[in-house]
Amino acid sequence: MKSVNKLPILFIILLLLSSLLNGCSHTSQSSRDDGLPILSQDELIRPYTKLGRIQVTRETYGSDYSLSPGIKAWGLAAVRQEAEKMGADAIMLPEVTGRTTTYGIIPSTEYRATGFAIKFK
């Protein structure tokens, strides 16, 4: 009777199991500096012109627990995108807020991201 070496099969199973469990750990969000800078009032030392106030809203219905950790990142990215369309050099005083209301038994949350698009002189 032939003896089958089970070590390669066990190794392949462990490798597949490891890749399934750790597959998502490699897709982390790194801190990105590829967008417009976000500046506070104290950081503005150069003269600038306000191009306008940006306001972006997002409404979710039902449970939004899966969205909550990424809401600030969504808000800043949305304001950056709109400021880039305006030709801005930076964003000043960003703010991301949320307000929940209930229609009957279904909760609804409105997220609002605001900021000022500025252009340096």
Q: Tell me the residue type at 98.
A: G
3-class state of residue 33 by DSSP = coil
DSSP category for residue 4: P
Over range 109-118, report the average pLDDT: 93
Yes or no: domain 38-120 corresponds to CATH 3.20.20.70: no
26 alpha carbon, distance to own chain's centre: 17
3-class state of residue 87 by DSSP = coil
45-104 per-position pLDDT tens digit: 889 999 999 999 988 877 655 555 688 888 999 999 999 999 999 999 999 998 888 878
pLDDT at site 29: 36
CB 98 within 8 A of CB 110: yes
Alpha-carbon distance of 32 to 73, in angstroms, equals 11
pLDDT at site 94: 93
pLDDT band at 27 (very low <50, low <70, confident <90, very high): very low
pLDDT at site 31: 41
Total-model pTM? 0.63
Alpha-carbon distance of 40 to 43, in angstroms, equals 5
Percent of the chain with pLDDT over 90: 36
User: Which residues are CB-contacts of 55 (< 8 A; sequence separation ≥ 6)?
Assistant: 112, 113, 114
